[in-house]
Amino acid sequence: MVNDDAALRRRGRFVTTAFLAAAGDEHYLFSVHSGELTVRPGPFVSPRWSFALRAESDSWQRFWSPAPDPGWHDLMAMIKFKTLVAEGDLHPFMSNLLWFKDVLAAPRRLALASEASR
């Protein structure tokens, strides 16, 4: 989904990092190399990551809904309302914030497409 988006890959061409995303007890390790993304599901013994984004599963589901409510529409809003925790070295995340926002909101496009096909 993300790797097939040429504009997103072009915008992320300078992004190389690894980060952990947690949805409740489920963990996913995202490796980014020049904007190309690979995802590995956990569990992990000792994963290496620069930063982690942790939220409950229902928080991610609300974020990915086709028309999220205020406070669930944006990663920074979720951090502000303490439904998302960002930890670790946030420099790669903040330096490429719009790219990370678009990458993590990509499942929302699937929800919009499935809603439109109904």
- Beta-ladder partners of 6: none
Predicted confidence (pLDDT) per residue in 31-52, tens digit? 999 999 999 999 889 999 999 9
Q: What is the pLDDT of residues 54-103, one digit of tens each?
A: 999 999 999 999 999 999 999 999 999 999 999 999 999 999 999 999 99
Beta strands in 1-118 (DSSP E): 16-23, 26-33, 36-41, 51-55, 84-88
- Give the right CATH number for 6-116 from 3.40.50.720, 2.40.160.20, 3.20.20.100, 3.30.1050.10: 3.30.1050.10
Predicted TM-score (pTM) of the model is: 0.89
